[in-house]
Chains A and B, each alone.
Chain A
Amino acid sequence: MAAPTPTPPTSPARRLLGLGPVTPGSAVWYYRRNWLGMVAACIVGAFVIAAIFAPWLTPYAEQGRGVPDLPQRLKGPNGSHWMGTDELGRDVLARVLFGARTALLVAIGVVVLAVVVGVLVGAIAGYFGGWVDEILMRITDTFLAFPPLLLAVIVAAALGASLQNTIVAIAVSWWPWYARQIRAQVLSLRERSYVKAVQAIGVPSHKIIRQHIIPNAMAPVWVQATADLGASILTAAGLSFVGLGPRPPTPDWGVMIADGRQFVLSGQWWIAVFAGAAITILALAFNLCGDVIRDVADPKTRGDQ
């Protein structure tokens, strides 16, 4: 009688999501073997939880949303304000927690918007080829010709500073990367026999692109998109820092650094330092996750660490 194969235990979190045990050799299994990747994923998780539950994690939820408390202005870190207070007397920790909402919203908004536009353009260019491809790719190259950040700067300046416009401005400068990537995928997919088959039975092009091409070309794009979340946070922070980000009283880390900057040299370092630390830690965690995901997705580098 053969011994029953032991099933690996399922973690409570996976059971909650309705997922089975992790199969050895799967992408998740490889990811979990990388301790740095796991630490980074936990940090990202902590920021997500902080963003969702911000109002319950701090006694100063109103200040986090922007209500000033002038008598308490510019107090250093102390027992009741762990990260001190800003120039309007608001609790810096509360501002940082609520800022996580803005940061994650922008990061995800930028990537999703850029992926949607990039995938459409790239899939159409790759599928039809010929002059359609030529024109669309020339346009894509032109957008790529701008140094990063600068295109976002003029678009944000033209649209006016606001949270939505920050997302749009950065996405405008990012979609070309995804367009190029998906085009390369589609070029090889369209030669596959299953695509030839649906073409032969007369399925309309838009339906083939939507149902047969895009779903099969997405995997590398999602890998790239996850890896880009960190860069998205940094770019958004840069725009906020020069005054092209969300308007007050929206809690935003880049704006906090810009506002806190004038107090840094006079000794009130805590506003800018804690906001910048939040950006750095979240961007680092995203970038580490992205690195590990990229390694796991590429069979050549799987055993690397």
Chain B
Amino acid sequence: MRYLLRRAGTSLVVILGVVTITFVVSRVVPSDPASLYAGPRARPAQVEQVRQDLKLDDPVLTQYVSYLGDLTRGDLGISFATRRPILGDLRSFLPATLELALLATALSMAIGIPLGVLASSRRGKPKDSVVRLFAVTSVSVPVFWSALILQLFFASKLGWLPLSGRTSSNVEFGEPTGFFVIDSILSGSPSNVWDVVRHLALPVTVMAAYPTGLTVRLIRGSMLEVLGEPYIEAARVGQIPERTILYQLALKNALAPALTILGLTFAYSVSSAFLVEAVFNWPGLGKYLTDAIVRVDFPVITAATLVITVIYVVVNLALDLVHAKIDPRVELS
């Protein structure tokens, strides 16, 4: 309980820090924030209007206080390109990105953990080298490029999978959750589900590559540590089958420290979502952000970054608490 409170406290401090950095980057760093906020093609009068709306002539500290005030009321500002409140936009784009990020994280765990265990059990043997080479390669390919190549092959040349988007234009169903896998299942039509899955295949694969490489490396490392412990020696002497030793006795203890990578994996998924969504025209936060960058829609860029970072901090907090729950050693440190 004390750990929970302390950890929640530091997260709050970090969030306040994140807000402060975002404020400094958006209001103090640029030479003329008003013209950034007004957009690239704004007339002088509009820039002046923005300057007054955002009270940019006030002392920095006053601006900071009113910025904090706006945030606590959930006011993230207005996109100058769409003229809509940013919070509403973010809310409608969030599920599409979460769906991608969660599926990619799941896929990277499903592939990365067994490969990491395999590599650690064949340390220094050819299989280990192959797995390690695979892991290094998957963290060396730029996601937007692999996205483009897969799109070129599987969608454009072979025509096996759709080019872009979340569904085909003729497929329609209700969207109570915004997660299309769930929504299409709720619609009760297998063809809808199939359409959604086909659209997910390429972006999820591309996004899973980087975190898979990370997972393999980390699991291999922490497995090697655990496999050197006396209790594993004892199990080997006791003729316990190798499979049981690897996947039950060792992996259980190797996973706990590796749990923190789940947060990192999620973060990488979100960061790459930003590049992958642009290629697959996926209507999520990443696409919203890249569109904003192209239009130099500055309020959207800073607000989206802030929201994604806060989500990331909360995810990390949750993971640390789960970690503490399953590994009693954490609470003592």
In the bound complex, residues from chain A placing their C-beta under 8 Å from that of B142 are: 234, 237-238, 241, 254, 257, 276, 279-280, 283
From A143, A146, A237, A304, give the contact of B124 (CB < 8 A): A304
The answer to whether A305 touches B129, judged by C-beta atoms less than 8 angstroms apart, is yes
CB-CB contacts below 8 Å: A233-275 with B: 234, 237-238, 241-244, 254, 257, 261, 264-265, 269, 272-273
In the bound complex, residues from chain A placing their C-beta under 8 Å from that of B124 are: 303-305
CB-CB contacts below 8 Å: B243-301 with A: 267-268, 270-271, 274-275, 278-279, 289-290, 293-294, 296, 298, 301
**Using an 8 Å CB-CB cutoff, how does the interface string of B202-244 with A read, 1 for contact, 0 for none?**
0000000000000000000000000000000000000000000
Question: Does any Cβ of A come within 8 Å of B93's Cβ?
Answer: no
Shortest CB-to-CB span from B55 to chain A, Å, is 19
In the bound complex, residues from chain A placing their C-beta under 8 Å from that of B296 are: 157
Q: Given the known A-B contacts A148-B267, A257-B145, A280-B142, are A153 and B279 also in contact in the complex, defined by CB atoms under 8 Å?
A: no
The answer to whether A244 touches B293, judged by C-beta atoms less than 8 angstroms apart, is yes
Cβ-closest chain B residue relative to A291: B136
**Using an 8 Å CB-CB cutoff, how does the interface string of A12-41 with B read, 1 for contact, 0 for none?**
000000000000000000000000100000
In the bound complex, residues from chain A placing their C-beta under 8 Å from that of B322 are: none
The answer to whether A146 touches B305, judged by C-beta atoms less than 8 angstroms apart, is yes
The answer to whether A149 touches B312, judged by C-beta atoms less than 8 angstroms apart, is no
Number of interface residues of B (CB under 8 A): 56
**Using an 8 Å CB-CB cutoff, how does the interface string of B284-327 with A read, 1 for contact, 0 for none?**
00000110011010100110010011001100100000000000
Give Cα A243–Cα B134 distance, bound, in whole angstroms: 30
Question: Does any Cβ of A come within 8 Å of B36's Cβ?
Answer: yes
Of the listed stretches B25-33, B165-173, B177-185, chain A binds B25-33
Cβ-closest chain B residue relative to A279: B142
In the bound complex, residues from chain A placing their C-beta under 8 Å from that of B14 are: 141-142, 145
The answer to whether B152 touches A150, judged by C-beta atoms less than 8 angstroms apart, is no
Give Cα A69–Cα B329 distance, bound, in whole angstroms: 66
Question: Does any Cβ of B come within 8 Å of A64's Cβ?
Answer: no
The answer to whether A142 touches B17, judged by C-beta atoms less than 8 angstroms apart, is yes
The answer to whether B267 touches A147, judged by C-beta atoms less than 8 angstroms apart, is yes
Question: Does any Cβ of A come within 8 Å of B49's Cβ?
Answer: no
Question: Does any Cβ of A come within 8 Å of B21's Cβ?
Answer: yes
Give Cα A244–Cα B133 distance, bound, in whole angstroms: 31
Q: Given the known A-B contacts A142-B18, A234-B142, A264-B148, are A154 and B308 also in contact in the complex, defined by CB atoms under 8 Å?
A: no
Q: Given the known A-B contacts A150-B305, A157-B293, are A284 and B137 also in contact in the complex, defined by CB atoms under 8 Å?
A: yes
CB-CB contacts below 8 Å: B5-31 with A: 10, 13-15, 17-18, 20-22, 25-26, 29-30
Cβ-closest chain A residue relative to B16: A142
Shortest CB-to-CB span from B142 to chain A, Å, is 5
Shortest CB-to-CB span from B76 to chain A, Å, is 14
The answer to whether A149 touches B149, judged by C-beta atoms less than 8 angstroms apart, is no
Question: Does any Cβ of B come within 8 Å of A217's Cβ?
Answer: no
From B17, B143, B145, give the contact of A145 (CB < 8 A): B17
Give Cα A167–Cα B58 distance, bound, in whole angstroms: 31
Number of interface residues of A (CB under 8 A): 48
Give Cα A207–Cα B183 distance, bound, in whole angstroms: 65
Shortest CB-to-CB span from A105 to chain B, Å, is 18
The answer to whether A287 touches B136, judged by C-beta atoms less than 8 angstroms apart, is yes
In the bound complex, residues from chain A placing their C-beta under 8 Å from that of B139 are: 230-231, 287
In the bound complex, residues from chain A placing their C-beta under 8 Å from that of B25 are: 154-155, 158
Q: Given the known A-B contacts A241-B144, A284-B137, are A150 and B308 also in contact in the complex, defined by CB atoms under 8 Å?
A: yes
Q: Given the known A-B contacts A230-B140, A264-B148, are A145 and B309 also in contact in the complex, defined by CB atoms under 8 Å?
A: yes
From A149, A158, A276, give the contact of B271 (CB < 8 A): A149
In the bound complex, residues from chain A placing their C-beta under 8 Å from that of B136 are: 284, 287-288, 291
Q: Given the known A-B contacts A148-B268, A265-B152, A284-B137, are A242 and B293 also in contact in the complex, defined by CB atoms under 8 Å?
A: yes
The answer to whether A151 touches B17, judged by C-beta atoms less than 8 angstroms apart, is no
The answer to whether A261 touches B271, judged by C-beta atoms less than 8 angstroms apart, is no
Cβ-closest chain B residue relative to A276: B145
CB-CB contacts below 8 Å: A165-206 with B: none
The answer to whether A241 touches B140, judged by C-beta atoms less than 8 angstroms apart, is no
In the bound complex, residues from chain B placing their C-beta under 8 Å from that of A272 are: 145, 148
Question: Does any Cβ of B come within 8 Å of A70's Cβ?
Answer: no
Question: Does any Cβ of B come within 8 Å of A132's Cβ?
Answer: no
Cβ-closest chain A residue relative to B21: A142
Cβ-closest chain B residue relative to A231: B139
Question: Does any Cβ of B come within 8 Å of A159's Cβ?
Answer: yes
From A36, A155, A243, A305, give the contact of B29 (CB < 8 A): A155
In the bound complex, residues from chain A placing their C-beta under 8 Å from that of B192 are: none
The answer to whether A154 touches B305, judged by C-beta atoms less than 8 angstroms apart, is yes
Give Cα A272–Cα B148 distance, bound, in whole angstroms: 8
Shortest CB-to-CB span from A180 to chain B, Å, is 15
From A153, A244, A269, A279, give the contact of B305 (CB < 8 A): A153
Question: Does any Cβ of A come within 8 Å of B141's Cβ?
Answer: yes
A-B contact pairs, 24 of them (CB 8 A): A146-B21, A147-B267, A147-B268, A147-B309, A150-B270, A153-B305, A154-B301, A155-B29, A157-B293, A238-B144, A242-B274, A264-B151, A265-B152, A269-B152, A272-B148, A276-B145, A276-B148, A280-B140, A280-B142, A283-B141, A284-B140, A287-B139, A288-B136, A304-B124
Residues of B within 8 A of A (CB): 10, 13-15, 17-18, 20-22, 25-26, 29-30, 36, 123-124, 129, 132-133, 136-137, 139-145, 148-149, 151-152, 156, 163, 267-268, 270-271, 274-275, 278-279, 289-290, 293-294, 296, 298, 301-302, 305, 308-309, 312-313, 316
Residues of A within 8 A of B (CB): 36, 138-139, 141-143, 145-151, 153-155, 157-159, 230-231, 234, 237-238, 241-244, 254, 257, 261, 264-265, 269, 272-273, 276, 279-280, 283-284, 286-288, 291, 303-305
